[in-house]
């Protein structure tokens, strides 16, 4: 089962979704801003993609700066808690297939798991 953690307002996310559909896949589309992941769900997704918590965050979001999340002393637990409370902080799109999970940024990264 293929899943995409999708933000329809994001061009990269739309491109990756189109790539999946062009390959004949009908992924489960999870609009994570409407259906946020739990702290444990985020931790699992990030771990499965082989990323650090910081690598999975959107540092360009204003809430990132407002919350002082660039502070290097913050733990992964603190960062995950912020992401769970403010799902806009999750980078996108994440795609999961039977071959693995990836943050598909740039969009061509999805090819690694197709």
Report d(CA 89, CA 60) in Å as an integer: 9
Q: Which of 1, 2, 10, 20 is catalytic?
A: 10
- Annotated catalytic residue 96: no
Q: Which two tokens stand for residue 85?
A: 């409370």
Report d(CA 29, CA 27) in Å as an integer: 6
Complete DSSP assignment for 30-95: EETTTSPPPHHHHHHHHHHTT--TGGGB-TTSHHHHHTTTT-TT--HHHHHHHHHH-GGGB-S-EE
Residue 2 CB-half CA count within 13 A: 19
* Residues with catalytic roles: 10
């Amino acid at each position: 089962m293929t899943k995409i953690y999708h933000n329809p307002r994001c061009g990269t996310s739309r491109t990756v979704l189109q790539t999946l559909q062009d390959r004949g896949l009908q992924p489960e589309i999870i609009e994570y801003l409407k259906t946020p992941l739990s702290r444990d769900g985020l931790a699992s997704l990030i771990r499965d993609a082989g990323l650090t918590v910081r690598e999975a965050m959107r540092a360009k979001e204003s809430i990132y700066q407002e919350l002082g999340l660039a502070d290097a002393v913050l733990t992964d637990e603190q960062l995950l808690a912020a992401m769970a409370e403010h799902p806009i902080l999750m980078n996108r799109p994440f795609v999961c297939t039977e071959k693995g999970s990836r943050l598909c940024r740039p969009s061509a990264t999805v090819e690694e798991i197709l």
